[in-house]
Amino acid sequence: MTTPLESLVASGTKLWLDSVDPELVKQNIAHGATGATSNPIIISDLIGTGRFDDQLGELLGSHDDDADVAWAITDKVVKDAQGQFHGVWQKTNGNDGWVSFELDPLLEDADCPLSVEEKAAKYIELGKQWSAGHDNRMIKIPATPGGLAAIEELCAAGVTLNVTLCFTMRQYEEARDAMWRGAQRRGSLENFKSVYSIFVSRIDVYTEKHAAELSDDAQGMVGIVNAQRIWQANQEFWADKGTPLQQEIIFASTGTKKPEDPKWKYVAALAGSDIQTNPPATNDAVQESGQTFEKKVDQLPPADVLADIDAKVDFAHLEKTLMEEGLKKFADPQKKLIAKIGEKRAELAGV
């Protein structure tokens, strides 16, 4: 009998895990997962389990700076996850089997003194540094002014990118166009792969507050419609570019925020193509749902719902608001991760 997650994969979705927890990686590979992503929250939670104390002890003994330890343990955990998915990467010739490694979120901290140009230069430096020597490591870079300004150069240098913190068509198009410019500077498109992480559920949280006048049919659908439209634009753009590998959308932030919504709401609506990075709890809920998933990503709601969304949602304001919130969620976890390393240093030293 086909399980719900197996039916999701069979519909055409690549299932990536929003975690690099070794135990969850193994569990979700058994369910059909073929890739993963990491971020400071995931790493911090892993450190909190105590399962990495031996490795941390070694790193703390050889590094005096807690931030250096945070990056060293992140590098190791992501590398271990890459090992779990490397066979998929080989089998698909690099089209799947990737694990995302997020560049320094503190570059987007409100207190960061760097200019956009300086941030871009730092992203380029770090992207090259953390990708070097890795087959299936995908460098995660945000769709901020500094991140967007770094895409062309990183792509041209052969770095495989996951553009994250994308909320709108404008961000996606700017990232995609920079990516394509960089790709064309390569000697060959053979190994060119790019993905664009479109955040879904946070948009519906925004519209409840800032577009309360939406009809009942449209409210709660904006995140889905936005993601579907960007997916369609991405399909159309790459159709004639002749890239051997797929240039794909990642449907991110797929966990529901409202208790009354089915936990597989976004999973079902965006099933059938490209990639979903689902939190472990969402995958568990999907697996327990008893649902059979079919391709729905190409099925937009009725014209009157689309017209209502277009008339009442200010996407420029949406992007500004969600980026402000997102950047705080982006930078603060890295600070907490570094602080947790400091706590572990004291704990393991017996202070």
151 in Cβ contact with 161 (< 8 Å): yes
Scanning the structure block, which residue is given the tokens 């969620």? 329
Whether 140 is catalytic: yes
User: Cα–Cα distance between 121 and 115 in angstroms, integer?
Assistant: 10
Cα 67–Cα 73–Cα 76 angle in degrees, nearest 5: 140
Which helix H or strand E contains 348, and what residues bound it? Answer: helix 315-349
Query: Which member of 140, 193, 263, 340 is catalytic?
Result: 140
Cα distances from 71 to residues 74, 126, 131, 182, in angstroms, run: 5, 11, 13, 27
Alpha helices in the chain (DSSP H): 4-10, 22-31, 40-48, 53-62, 66-91, 116-131, 145-156, 169-184, 201-210, 222-238, 265-269, 280-288, 303-312, 315-349
Measured in residues, the chain has a length of 351
Which helix H or strand E contains 289, and what residues bound it? Answer: none
Three-state secondary-structure class, residue 280: helix
Q: Annotated catalytic sites, by residue?
A: 140
